[in-house]
Structure 1
Amino acid sequence: MVKIMYHNPLGNSNYDQVFLDATKAHARPGTEIHVTSLPPEDGAFEHIEYRSYEGRVTTGVMRAVRAAARADFDAFVIGCFYDTALHEARELSGDMIVVAPCMAACEIATSLANRFGVIIGRRKWANQMHGNIVEYGHGGRCTGLYHVELGVTEFQADHDETEKRLLAAGRRAVEEDYAEAIILGCTLEIGFHERLQDQLGVPVIDPSIAAFKRAEYAAALRRDCGWVPSRKWTCEAPPEEEMARVGGFDVNRPFGNHISGAA
């Protein structure tokens, strides 16, 4: 059995049950899943599309990852395609593995195909997401980022219109730029990626599921092979005594909502 925390880096619980249902539907037998979100005082956002919003929640993500590591979780998932606070969280995670959706989805896409496209909501997202893809070493494999000009909350306003735009963007990527796989930078609902890949004829990767499955796999390797995260050189963690002196890392409650289930 492995124990995974999927953390929603928002100060509300609106999407928590959605994440729990999606992960339970794709979990291996025996995997224990916990879904958490930030307390409202850390920022009661509906989304963190803006870097300023990300900055506001980063402290909360660091607090959450420390709480998860102390509770002996095998892996921690940051539930945002921006991979918010991924590097900061890894410094503080001890022997616990930290995974984020963009990195995980790119790794999976490149194991299935040579070139992939990424469908994103708004043009606003492109610079940061493309920067992450390049940093992860996949810039030459990405055919492009295809925006549909919908924000996170707008995805749910009219499902038919959202699906129409996502399909059109996917067809541009596959038929014009020859993408061999598609990553959804934001998705519509559980199982939508399956409908889209049936129409496009290439693998379509849901980032939430990709991050969870990558965490589940890494957690199994951690237990079976003893492969724990490095804490050398660029992965070095800050000294505990220094963090205690500076303060702010362990103050306030780490979670606003916490639900769990098993596969």
Structure 2
Amino acid sequence: MRLVVMNPNTTESMTASIRSTAEASASPGTEILATQPLWGPESIEGHFEGYLSAAAVLDRLAALDEPYDALVMAGFGEPGREGAQELLDVPVLDITESAAQMALMLGHSYGVVTTLDRAVPQIQDRLLTAGLLQRCASVRGTGLGVLELEEDEARTVEVIIETARKVVEEDRAEVVCLGCGGMAGLQEKVSAALGVPVVDGVAAAVKFAESLVSLGLTTSKARSFAPPRPKTIGSWPLHQHLG
């Protein structure tokens, strides 16, 4: 089984971190192909960058010529997944929904710890659209930018734990979700400090993807995610026309 794990930004070190978590979570025999767009923002912290990234991700997927069995999109609360579901015949997993779905199996309510406060409404909207917001106790920002997560891991973990503690003690969440692909791999340290389950979206999406592939299930093409209708799209895939 081969899974593509797509980092939505163009920061190679973050792609490497996401790859490491995906490989550690995957079952024996599952191959992880971690990649990123060939153009687009270095990090995503708002709607403008999110929609740029969505176009870049779809452009990358349209030109990806290696066979694979499922796609994991490693952006938290970001757009584009529905487009990938239309484009591809394989299962498409989003770490936002995967983390929340897994959290709901572990407790009555869950909370999300993310990066900047400006990302909170974006994540809430995503969870609302997915039907997962009702049992979300809160979404809290740490104040850390996406690229700051990699600068000092000890400080990053400290701030995440500090924020997650408020999610558990003040907001009454029973499970915590790490709300950024750049937080991949930190769940064990946060869980040990808080004493509650902590779900990493990349790990959750990888396991869900493996399950869907093993069961022979993929996205329904009956209505919502039917393939795009044939039409002319100028400069598509875009990367072939750059530079």
TM surpasses 0.5? yes
Measured in 1, the distance between the counterparts of 2:183 and 2:144 equals 15
What corresponds to 1:46 in structure 2?
42
Query: Aligned equivalents of 1:162 and 1:228: distance in 2?
Result: 36
Q: Who is 2:239 aligned against?
A: 252
- Show the 5 A alignment for 1:173-252: 173-186=167-180, 191-222=185-216, 227-239=217-229, 241-242=230-231, 245-252=232-239
Deviation (angstroms), 1:251: 4.4
Matched with 1:76 is 71
Specify the code of the residue in structure 1 equivalent to 2:157: E
Q: Hey, what's the Cα distance between the residues in 2 that align with 1:203 and 1:16?
A: 25
Which stretches in structure 1 are left out of the alignment for 5+ residues?
255-263
Give 2:53's aligned residue: 57
Equivalent residues of 2:8, 2:36 under 8 A apart: yes
Does residue 62 of structure 2 align to residue 66 of structure 1?
Answer: yes
Amino acid at match of 1:54: G
Decide whether the 8 Å contact of 1:162 with 1:188 is kept in 2: no
Q: Is the 8 A contact 1:123 1:147 kept in 2?
A: yes
1:237 and 1:123 mapped to 2: Cα distance?
Answer: 36
Contact 1:101 1:208 in 2 (8 A): yes
Higher relative contact order (CA 8 A, sep 6+): 1
Residue pair 2:10, 2:43 contacting (<8 A) in 1 also: no
Task: Give 1:187 shift.
Answer: 6.4
How many residue pairs were aligned?
Answer: 241
Extract structure 1 runs of 4+ deviating beyond 6 A.
none
Query: TM-score when scaled to structure 2?
Result: 0.91
Out of 66, 81, 85, the residue aligned to residue 86 of structure 1 is 81
8 Å contact kept, 2:184–2:201: no
Deviates more, 1:166-175 or 1:126-135: 166-175
Structure 1 match to 2:14: 15
TM-score, normalisation: structure 1? 0.84
Per-residue CA shift, 1:160-212, capped at 9, x if unaligned? 33222211211111122221100011366664211111221111011222222
Note the 1:33-182 alignment, pairs <5 A: 33-39=32-38, 42-43=39-40, 45-68=41-64, 71-93=66-88, 95-182=89-176
Q: Distance in 1 between matches of 2:153 and 2:10?
A: 25
Equivalents in 2 of 1:81, 1:189: separation in Å? 10
Match of 2:224, as an amino acid?
Answer: T
Q: CA–CA distance in 1 between the matches of 2:209 and 2:236?
A: 24
Secondary structure of the 1:140 match is: coil
Superposed displacement of residue 75, structure 1: 0.4
Residue deviations 1:52-82, cap 9 Å, x none?
11222222211233344x6431101112112
**Letter of the structure 2 residue corresponding to residue 215 of structure 1:** A
Alpha-carbon shift at residue 252 of structure 1 (Å): 3.1
The amino acid across from 1:28 in the alignment is S
Amino acid at match of 1:155: L
- Aligned-pair distance for 1:14? 2.5
Secondary structure of the residue aligned to 2:13 is: coil
Unaligned runs of 5+ in 2: none
Given that 1:62 and 1:249 are in contact with CA atoms closer than 8 Å, whether structure 2 keeps it comes out as no
Q: Following TM superposition, by how much is the alpha carbon of 1:128 offset from its aligned partner in structure 2, in angstroms? A: 0.6
Structure 1 residues 178, 76: CA separation in 2 closer, same or farther (over 3 Å shift)?
Answer: same
The secondary structure found in structure 2 opposite 1:48 is coil
SS at match of 1:6: strand
